[in-house]
Chains A and B, each alone.
Chain A
Amino acid sequence: MNDTDKKIFLNIKKIIVYVVSISLSILSILPFWIMLMNATRSTTAIQQSISLLPSTFLRSNWEALTGKGFNAIRGFMNSSIIAFGATFLSIYFSTLTAYGLTTYEFKGKKIIFGFIIGIIMIPTQLNLIGFYQFMLKLGLTNSYIPLIIPAIASPSTVFFMRQYLVANMPFEIIESGRIDGAGEFRIFNTMTLPIMKPAIATMSIFSIVGSWNNFLTPLTLLTNEKKYTLPLMIQMLKGDIYKTEYGGIYLGISLTILPLLLIYFSLSKYIIRGVAMGGVKG
């Protein structure tokens, strides 16, 4: 191949790369776009054809949706309470655990760390039945406690925080804090936490999204419809009462997805960086 041939070849390849990438991008957006548009269209219009433009039936779809029991605002509040509660506990205690594991020398430290890595491999299903039976005995089904408190022990978050601490924590400042007379917990709260901010931001996003998207655990525990999270409410849209309300169904799905789309597009930089750091998978 001579130089001009090479150039032509490279350009053809480039065209293929862009065509594939743009097609995949469209494939990512299109289902959500159609969903959002259909949320504003009438059921008859949706049945007849597709449209990539909005229409004017948002209000009547909203009435059809909420009139039959889909309480989006309550679902949103329930999901938020669980997601923010679980995230706060997960982040604070994972940082605390990771700090304990990196700062102090104590017996059994290596075993505990090895154990935490091992837990990551265990499938949720193994815990599911025993967890449900245990909560049933404690009378905690239909309570948010089993959906929030266990977040204190989040092995993958501990792992991430530890990696970050080892790479970024200036351990000399602990010594200077001690000389100034600060207690160990005070040093953690006032000196370590601020240093961990970037890691905390990244893991908070993943924790909120993970908790928000959780379907199986609340499905087994929550039977009271008033307590339903958004992913549980989405089941209602498949029921017979919404059978002929296509616009309402699309609006309902849109409402469960919109908060995530907003979070994603405003924080995508941090999210992509977090994924690239590995260890985090949807």
Chain B
Amino acid sequence: MKKKATFNYSRYGYYFVAPFIIIFVIFQLYPIVYTLNLSITDLTGWATEYKYVGLQNFIRLFQSKLFIQSLKNTVIIWGVNFIPQLGIALLLAAWFTDIRMKVKGQGIFKVLFYLPGIITAASIAVLFSSLFRFPDGVINNILVSAGILETPFEFFRSKTATRLLVSFIQFWMFYGSTMIMLIAAILGINPALYEAAMIDGASNKKIFFSITLPLIKPIMLYILVTSLIGGMQMFDIPFLITNRSGSGSPDNAITTVAIFIYNQAFTGGRNFNIASAASVILLGIIIIGSRILFRIFKEE
């Protein structure tokens, strides 16, 4: 006992955490600070020297039509994917946890619904780009031979069709994981609450809206925030789905903020200053968006 009292283990805490901290500082913290720093400089091209220009890059960004367009695109594509995603996931979760219905084969359904979410997004983008190809892609073949279309449709020439397709793919990849998390949350609710409600003769609808929904709010907030963070960074699918990679064609309809940042930094004149400033704005949007979500969920 005496030995234990004199032996101080706390230093091991530092030893065990040290590798994480060291690597984090070198490979994440330093680059983040570096990006913040570059956002107020004039660094472009292959130059290594730069000077500070204040908020000039931010002013240029807010005057840039393409940047504003990319912000709008990102929000639209995310919103059009997320609202139905949460809706369908909630509906499926409600069905699958319904005690009276006892849906069979849930294990298989979960596995299949989640499947697209685990596949490389880059591969999925190129796969859909081939399926929706004009004029002889699989989808056009089906639509024309079924008589739905008279002539093949050039999906990637239409702004609406291209945006909808990107939103659909995002929906298709992620509703499975949203549903699985919601089911886990619903199953975690105390069964006594449901039993009491059923004895009182409450309808399924009433039970869902007055017991289930309020109790899964924390996990819904979590899903919303993570989806917002992921959605604002959307890159792989819109970058690869049209014929010219990264162009955000047609007409910049699917140029997301992440694509804008990539194009600024890694193509043409390599405007690292502008790209860094845009990254800072992206962080700002994520922070503000998350705070709004937190507030909405707290007030209700």
Chain A interface (Cβ within 8 Å of chain B)?
10, 13-14, 17-18, 20-21, 24-25, 27-29, 31-32, 34-35, 38, 46-50, 93-94, 96-97, 99-101, 103-107, 109, 112, 116, 119, 121-134, 137, 146, 149-150, 152-153, 158, 178, 184, 188, 209, 212-213, 215-216, 219-220, 230-232, 234-235, 237-238, 246, 249-250, 253, 256-257, 260-261, 264-265, 268, 271-272, 275-278, 280-282
Contact = CB atoms under 8 A, between A and B. Distances in A.
A112 B21 contact: yes
A238 B240 contact: yes
Contacts of B226: 281
A150 B28 contact: yes
Given A134-B31, A271-B114, A282-B174, A213 B121 contact: yes
A10 B101 contact: yes
A276 B93 CA distance: 12
A119 B14 CA distance: 19
B123 A256 contact: yes
B119 to A, nearest CB: 6
Contacts of B227: 281
B141 A100 contact: no
12 contacts: A93-B20, A100-B14, A105-B10, A122-B32, A127-B35, A129-B261, A153-B23, A216-B235, A232-B122, A234-B240, A278-B184, A282-B173
B62 to A, nearest CB: 18
Give the dominant DSSP class at B's interface. Answer: helix
B283 A31 contact: no
Contacts of A17: 95, 101, 103
A97 B90 CA distance: 36
Contacts of A131: 27-28, 31, 34
Given A97-B16, A272-B110, A278-B219, A50 B142 contact: yes
B184 A97 contact: no
Given A122-B32, A127-B35, A134-B31, A277 B230 contact: no
Contacts of B61: none
Contacts of B290: 121
A150 B23 contact: yes
B261 A209 contact: no
A125 to B, nearest CB: 5
Contact of A282 (B21, B126, B138, B177): B177
B297 interface: no
A31 B128 contact: yes
Nearest to A175: B4
A20 B105 CA distance: 13
B27 A146 contact: yes
Nearest to B14: A106
A237 B32 contact: no
Contact of A152 (B11, B23, B261, B283): B23
